[in-house]
Amino acid sequence: MTSRPTLDLPLVTGAWRERDPVGARKFVDLDRVVLESGDQLPAVRVAYETWGTFTGDNAVLVEHALTGDAHVVGPVGPGQPSPGWWDDLVGPGRPIDTDRWFVVATNILGGCQGTTGPASTAPDGQPWGSRFPALTVRDQVTAEIAVADALGIDRWQAVIGGSAGGMRALEWAIAVPDRVARLFLLATSPWASAEQIAYSSTQQAAITSDPDFLGGDYYGASRGPVAGLALARRIAHIAYRSEPELAQRFGREVQEDGRFAVASYLEHHGTKLVRRFDANSYLVLTSAMDTHDVGRGRGGVEQALARITARTIVAGIDSDRLYPLGQQQVLAEGIPRAKELAVVNSLHGHDGFLVEFAQVGALATQLLH
């Protein structure tokens, strides 16, 4: 039986809603996005943030991971529930130097921090909820291509992404290779593995099994599936870190309240996510990741990767048990202009791409030199 998060948590959803402060967000409104399934999403809004000055040929796209958003740089503030997740890498004089580059980050289609997703208002004036269509990573990139068109960006000097963000970066380079000059892929994969889908399915079940899920139509209720979302995050976070790190940090330590310290740590991360995320978005985005396969409909992975013309760096984390190095090796060997696989040494597992700023920054500098 799951324990319900308490403290100052939202009762229904942590999604950004239209009535909330805008913060640093800007918006592009699209007439529609045609999905791989043949369905259409009308009147799509995409939230984005930018840093630096656009000179016509200096744009860099930074792609966030599953529960990230467009707030790559900057503090917590009204409408911005979490600080920038790559503050140490993006900015003046930093590896992704905003004195030179015009950096753009979008919130993913289906997300919950300003871009159209299940918590957004549908054309009938009600939240999309359970009616929101299934998406693929390619659908999300289709929306991003439309945003680039709206911003007048014909070609990215680099597309950079880790984990789920790496999936979108990869799709950019395959779908429209002439629009990507450089590519930086971090802790990502050419397809979703059976184990990755297995982890995802347990997280999805944690949400849909919450009695407050209400089939996905919980926005008008007094409670939403916040307990299920928190549990999903706890499951995910085990895979995001490494066993040696958990052993070193927590071991079998028991707190004064009688709980294992490692269990308290996981609960902390679950409640943190509930404050800024939406359960339906979590389902939509993890399901899109489950369908990720660059070779689908393209003659296989080898032929798909051969389309990429961008100068590429592929990097993996040596302790990553969720996206193991073998997946990045496939990318490094299959992308024509990729260098030898770069291995980031880290105790922190998959989350190393968000933690090892010196090593990741050095690779970014090398690519953007």
List the CATH number of the domain containing 284.
1.10.1740.110
| Residues 283 and 205 reside in one and the same domain | yes
DSSP string, 36-57: TTS-EEEEEEEEEEEES---SS
Q: Are strands 158-162 and 40-51 parallel, antiparallel or unpaired?
A: unpaired
Residue 3 lies in a domain: no
320 catalytic, yes or no? yes
Residue 222 lies in a domain: yes
| Residues 224 and 284 reside in one and the same domain | yes
| Residues 257 and 227 reside in one and the same domain | yes
Residue 339 lies in a domain: yes
Residue 159 lies in a domain: yes
| Residues 150 and 34 reside in one and the same domain | yes
Domain coverage including residue 257: 199-289
Which residues are bridge partners to 160 per DSSP? Answer: 62, 184
Residue of 69, 278, 290, 320 with catalytic role:
320
- In sequence order, what are the residues at sequence separation of 6 or more whose Cβ sits closer than 8 angstroms to the Cβ of residue 261? 250, 251, 253, 254, 255
Residue of 82, 120, 163, 189 with catalytic role:
163
Angle at 346 between CA 340 and CA 352, to 5 degrees: 85
pLDDT (0 to 100) of residue 47: 98
| Residues 233 and 275 reside in one and the same domain | yes
| Position 8 confidence tier, pLDDT thresholds 50, 70, 90 | low
pLDDT (0 to 100) of residue 4: 43
The two structure tokens encoding residue 54: 């656009």
pLDDT (0 to 100) of residue 286: 98
Q: Specify the number of domains making up the chain.
A: 2
Percent of the chain with pLDDT over 70: 98
Q: How many other CB atoms sit within 10 Å of the CB of residue 133? A: 16
pLDDT for residue 77 is more than 80: yes
Quick check: helix, strand or coil at residue 9? Answer: coil
| Residues 171 and 73 reside in one and the same domain | yes
Percent of the chain with pLDDT over 90: 96
| Residues 275 and 359 reside in one and the same domain | no
Domain boundary among 247, 267, 289: 289
Mean pLDDT of the chain: 96
- Backbone φ and ψ for 45, nearest 5 degrees, come out as -110, 135
Q: Among all chains, which residue has been given the structure tokens 């010196």?
A: 358
163 catalytic, yes or no? yes
| Residues 128 and 262 reside in one and the same domain | no
> For the domain that residue 310 is a member of, what is the CATH number?
3.40.50.1820
What is the pTM assigned to this prediction?
0.96
| Residues 94 and 207 reside in one and the same domain | no
| Residues 274 and 297 reside in one and the same domain | no
Q: Are strands 311-317 and 342-344 parallel, antiparallel or unpaired?
A: parallel
| Residues 142 and 44 reside in one and the same domain | yes
pLDDT for residue 1 is more than 50: no
- In sequence order, what are the residues at sequence separation of 6 or more whose Cβ sits closer than 8 angstroms to the Cβ of residue 191? 292, 293, 294, 295, 301
pLDDT digits (tens, 9 = 90+) for 93-141: 999 999 999 999 999 999 999 999 999 999 999 999 999 999 999 999 9
Domain boundary among 265, 289, 313: 289
Residue of 120, 139, 350, 351 with catalytic role:
350
Residue 6 lies in a domain: no
Domain boundary among 244, 267, 289: 289
Burial 45-65 (b: 16+ CB within 10 A, else e): bbbbbbbbeeeeebbbbbbbb
- In sequence order, what are the residues at sequence separation of 6 or more whose Cβ sits closer than 8 angstroms to the Cβ of residue 299? none
